[in-house]
Amino acid sequence: MGNYHVVPRGDKWAVIGENKKKADSLHDTQKEAIRRGKELAQREGNELIIHGKDGKIRDKDSYGNDPFPPRDKKF
């Protein structure tokens, strides 16, 4: 499986696996979708890509096995 994306889908937020058309899950809030996307990405060692309401990428989190991970300054 590839990376996961959190994207707007109508008035909901969807978690979609890369190269998939069908959402893995739909949520009322972006926060709920991010929580679910993070679970999936961590389980599979992939990246979570978070899009804003305009569809543009606003954030990324990597859960892979990077031997030299960047220092995350968000948290």
Better-predicted residue by pLDDT, 19 or 64: 19
Per-residue confidence (pLDDT) for residue 70, from 0 to 100: 62
Could you report the per-residue pLDDT of 12-54, keeping only the tens digit for each?
A: 999 999 989 899 999 999 999 999 999 999 999 999 999 999 9
Give pTM, 2 decimals: 0.83
Q: What angle do CA 24, 25, 30 make, to 5 degrees?
A: 125
pLDDT at 66 over 80: no
Per-residue confidence (pLDDT) for residue 2, from 0 to 100: 85
